[in-house]
Amino acid sequence: MRLSQLFLVIVTWLLSAGIAAAAGPCHGKFPNLISDICWKCLFPVSIGPAKMTAGQQDAGPTPPIVCSCPAPPPLFIRYGVGIGFWEPARLAEIVRTPYCSPTLGTRLASLGAPSGTNTQGAGESTKEAFYHAHWFTFPLLSWIGMAFTQAACASSDSFDIAYLTELDPLWDDDELAFLINPEAVLFANPIAQAACIADTAAASVSFGIDALFWCSGSQGSVYPISGTSGHHVGGVDSSTLLTHRMIFKMHRQGLGMDTSTTGAMCQAVPQPILRKNQYKSQMLYPIPQTQKGMPFGRPSSIWAAGREFPYEGEDFTYLVWRKRLCCAF
């Protein structure tokens, strides 16, 4: 049984038993698939090198006009047309109350887990926050029957709870997180962190710099890959940073794949070091942001004014858009 299926069985059993968390608010709603989705974020769509755009940014390689993939006998090779597009593929929830799901509008369980924190002291060094993260598969294009998903670009995903950090001891312990990101010691110095200024500048106008993979632009450092934001200045900044970390974590653990290079046109391949230009995100909760997808590291001052408010607006849901290149037959 896949890990995601195991999580779903556990959560379904807990919900059917009527278990609810004893403390902490849990608010939310399932997104409106018409009005809450940034449908322009699907673009640009590429057919070979030709692009159909809708004012959306893009990065990375373009597909060849003619492509080929292995096929079973007697064909052995199938030829097709290279297609590139942005796919709404995942949901990331960043929450303070353990097991609270803003997407489902309820708590998923009452098992033990540390609660989120959001503290601000007198000095810069005392501003910190801790959030839990939930990772959902969200194959929106398959639901609405987009043509891309009817050919070789089809995805076998279904709506599913794929990961809960409440069940992961590495998420709430920065030292244990070192087990999956030992290279963090290379970037815990002022020179490496100063390089993130360039990443912020790049993300302000386009996508961040893939070579600076330890940076998340104006939100700070990707390391440690845990739920702690060491320089908390607001929920939007911390939640976008932790969304970036969650995606990086999925890639590092083999649950995230390369889908946006020519080598992945026939089948997704492992990508332990996340390429930032493969993803962009949009806020779905508490206030949908439907005009543009936001690359990792883009300053929240550009787009996030008024999107955090007390009580019901301190947990967050992001729709994660993933770049796809595929060979359509």
Tens digit of each residue's pLDDT (9 = 90 or more) over 158-176? 888 999 999 999 999 999 9
Provide the number of structural domains found in the chain.
1
- 184 closest CA partner among 223, 227, 226: 223
Residue 188 is predicted with a pLDDT of 86
- Greater confidence (221 vs 126) lies with 221
Q: Express each pLDDT in 192-207 by its tens digit.
A: 999 999 999 999 999 9
The predicted pLDDT at position 116 comes to 62
End-to-end CA distance of the chain: 31
**pLDDT at position 52:** 85
Alpha carbons 110 and 95: distance in angstroms, whole number:
15
pLDDT at 223 over 80: yes
DSSP notation for 130-168: E-EEEEEE--HHHHHT-GGGGTTT-----SEEEEEGGG-
Is 93:317 a contact under the CB 8 Å cutoff?
Answer: yes
**Residue 167: predicted pLDDT:** 93
Across 230-249, average pLDDT: 93
The pLDDT of residue 322: 94
Q: pLDDT: is 298 or 14 the higher one?
A: 298
Mean pLDDT of the region 251-267 = 93
Q: Give the domain extent around 296.
A: 3-328
pLDDT for the residue 64: 93
* Interval 128-158: pLDDT, tens: 899 999 999 998 888 776 655 555 576 777 8
The whole-number average pLDDT for the span 206-235 is 92
Percentage of the chain surpassing pLDDT 90?
59
Does the pLDDT of residue 25 top 80, yes or no? no
Q: Is the predicted pLDDT of residue 312 greater than 50, yes or no?
A: yes
> For 213-252, b where at least 16 C-beta lie within 10 A, e where not — what string?
bbbbbbbbbbbbbbbbbeebbbbbbbbbbbbbbbbbbbbb
Assign 117 a pLDDT band (cuts: 50, 70, 90). Answer: low
**pLDDT (average), residues 314-329:** 93
CA distance 135 to 189: 31
